[in-house]
């Protein structure tokens, strides 16, 4: 398999060492190391991405736009093979080869505000460089990925069909999320009233999707672009809030460890808005804090819905795994809501950022 793939790029299999690389949970990735150049080889997970050609088309369209309007921007897209194809099919598998960015690294979790700042700055720059891109040229690689009204519908359906034992187990969490349905109502109002502009959105802004300089820690670029689709900027900011603010991740069972670090909020705010502040409308800027509520609430709904549906979507390691995840995200949301007055003071004290 590897020999056939490398040959299609004019690379001799014998000249390279191939080993698994990274901590991604969706696609398989290998580092291809040679005496002169290193590459990343990736197999698209077609169980998740049903239309690999849509990903390929999106990246080609973005590459074309950036080559014209931002030629110096570091956009890590697949390399063309000898047939000028950026995706090859071998044994019904879909593969791409990317350049390996030397002297770069990524983190799996956020320790320091500077890391959050550098990541937010990179995602902000990504959005800024693509501000003028026609989003109708992009395909949806994961349909309804951040569709909150749909997640609410799925939650309501799960409540009607769940087995009684799981309903009883999740009584407190069901009540908590039901009381917070005003978040979904506000989201619908924002969309219906045109308060948010459809933009090119990454949709997966966790910290390990940013490369930084190994020595200085300065951000270099964003990676893992398979979820780049039309969307709203609150998806990217909200996902950073959800995954950077707490020292504990969504798997943590000890809820006392799940709490918002206010300094991380400011780091996200500063980094993202330094890049995107001038591109966002006033109505968009007003939803910066809401973005965290939107994303954390939606993920809590998804975990709880899957628990009620007997764990049909997310992989679980133990019986109430999804319920624990839902509890975790509800705790994070509570901490976020409690910190909202402090977040608002940041906007008052730092208007120059936006």
**pLDDT tens-digit map of 335-353:** 999 999 999 887 776 654 5
pLDDT of residue 22 exceeding 90: no
Closest CA to 177 of 151, 195, 201: 151
Non-local CB neighbours of 151 within 8 Å, separated by 6+ positions: 298, 301, 302, 305
Q: Which domains does the chain have, with CATH numbers?
A: 2-100 (3.30.200.20), 113-353 (3.90.1200.10)
Residues in the chain, overall count: 354
Non-local CB neighbours of 225 within 8 Å, separated by 6+ positions: 55, 58, 59, 62, 76, 77, 202
pLDDT for 350 equals 63
Which residues does residue 66 pair with via DSSP β-bridges, in sequence order? none
Q: What percent of the chain has pLDDT over 90?
A: 85
pLDDT for 169 equals 97
DSSP-derived secondary structure letter, 256: G
Non-local CB neighbours of 17 within 8 Å, separated by 6+ positions: 32, 33, 34
Task: Report in angstroms the alpha-carbon separations of 224 from 116, 118, 140, 150.
Answer: 18, 17, 15, 25
Which H/E stretch holds residue 156? Answer: helix 148-161
Provide the CB-side half-sphere exposure for 299 (13 A, CA).
Answer: 25
Residue 300 CB-density burial (10 A; 0-12 exposed, 13-18 middle, 19+ buried): buried
Strands 93-99 and 88-90: antiparallel
Average pLDDT for residues 172-182, to the nearest whole number? 97
Compute the distance between CA of residue 240 and CA of residue 180 in angstroms, rounded to an integer. Answer: 21
pLDDT for 160 equals 96
Average pLDDT for residues 5-19, to the nearest whole number? 86
Place of tokens 């120059």: 352
Average pLDDT for residues 259-265, to the nearest whole number? 96
pLDDT of residue 23 exceeding 60: no
Average pLDDT for residues 278-307, to the nearest whole number? 97
Least confident range from 48-52, 149-153, 303-307: namely 48-52
pLDDT for 24 equals 57
Mean of the per-residue pLDDT values for the chain? 93
Provide the CB-side half-sphere exposure for 53 (13 A, CA).
Answer: 1
pLDDT for 353 equals 53
For the whole model, what pTM was predicted?
0.93
pLDDT for 72 equals 96
Average pLDDT for residues 19-33, to the nearest whole number? 77
DSSP-derived secondary structure letter, 106: -
pLDDT band at 13 (very low <50, low <70, confident <90, very high): confident
pLDDT for 354 equals 46
Long-range contacts of 299-303 (CB under 8 A, 24+ apart): 299/242, 299/250, 299/329, 300/173, 300/177, 300/326, 300/329, 300/330, 300/333, 301/148, 301/151, 301/152, 301/154, 301/155, 301/177, 302/151, 303/250, 303/329
**pLDDT tens-digit map of 201-229:** 999 999 999 999 999 999 999 999 999 99
DSSP-derived secondary structure letter, 313: S
Average pLDDT for residues 24-40, to the nearest whole number? 82
Compute the distance between CA of residue 294 and CA of residue 234 in angstroms, rounded to an integer. Answer: 8
DSSP-derived secondary structure letter, 39: E
Compute the distance between CA of residue 8 and CA of residue 230 in angstroms, rounded to an integer. Answer: 32
């Amino acid at each position: 398999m590897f020999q056939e793939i490398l040959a299609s790029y004019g690379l001799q299999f014998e000249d390279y060492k191939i080993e698994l690389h990274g901590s991604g949970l969706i696609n398989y990735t290998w580092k291809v190391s040679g005496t002169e150049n290193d590459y990343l080889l990736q197999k698209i997970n077609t169980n998740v991405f049903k239309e690999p050609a849509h990903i390929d088309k999106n990246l080609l369209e973005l590459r074309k736009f950036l080559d014209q309007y931002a030629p110096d921007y570091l956009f890590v897209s697949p390399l063309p093979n000898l047939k000028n194809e950026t995706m090859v099919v071998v044994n019904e598998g879909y593969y791409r080869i990317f350049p390996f960015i030397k002297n770069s690294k990524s983190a799996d979790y956020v320790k320091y505000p500077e890391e959050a700042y550098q990541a937010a700055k990179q995602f902000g720059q990504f959005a800024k460089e693509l501000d003028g891109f026609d989003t109708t040229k992009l395909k949806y690689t994961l349909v309804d990925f951040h569709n909150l009204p749909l997640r609410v519908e799925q939650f309501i359906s799960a409540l009607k069909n769940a087995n009684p034992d799981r309903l009883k187990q999740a009584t407190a969490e069901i009540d908590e999320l039901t009381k917070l349905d005003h978040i979904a109502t506000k989201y619908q109002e924002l969309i219906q009233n045109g308060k948010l502009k459809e933009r090119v959105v990454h949709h997966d802004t966790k910290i390990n999707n940013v490369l930084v300089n190994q020595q200085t820690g300065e951000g270099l670029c964003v990676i893992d672009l398979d979820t780049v689709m039309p969307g709203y900027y609150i998806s990217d900011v909200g996902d950073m809030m959800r995954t950077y603010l707490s020292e504990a991740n969504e798997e943590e069972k000890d809820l006392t460890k799940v709490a918002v670090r206010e300094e991380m909020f400011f780091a996200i705010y500063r980094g993202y808005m330094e890049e995107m502040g001038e591109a966002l409308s006033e109505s968009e800027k007003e939803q910066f804090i809401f973005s965290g509520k939107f994303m954390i609430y939606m993920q809590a709904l998804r975990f709880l819905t899957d628990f009620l549906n007997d764990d049909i979507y997310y992989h679980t390691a133990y019986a109430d795994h999804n319920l624990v995840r839902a509890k975790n995200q509800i705790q994070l949301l509570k901490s976020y809501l409690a910190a909202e007055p402090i977040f608002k003071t940041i906007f008052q004290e730092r208007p120059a950022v936006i």
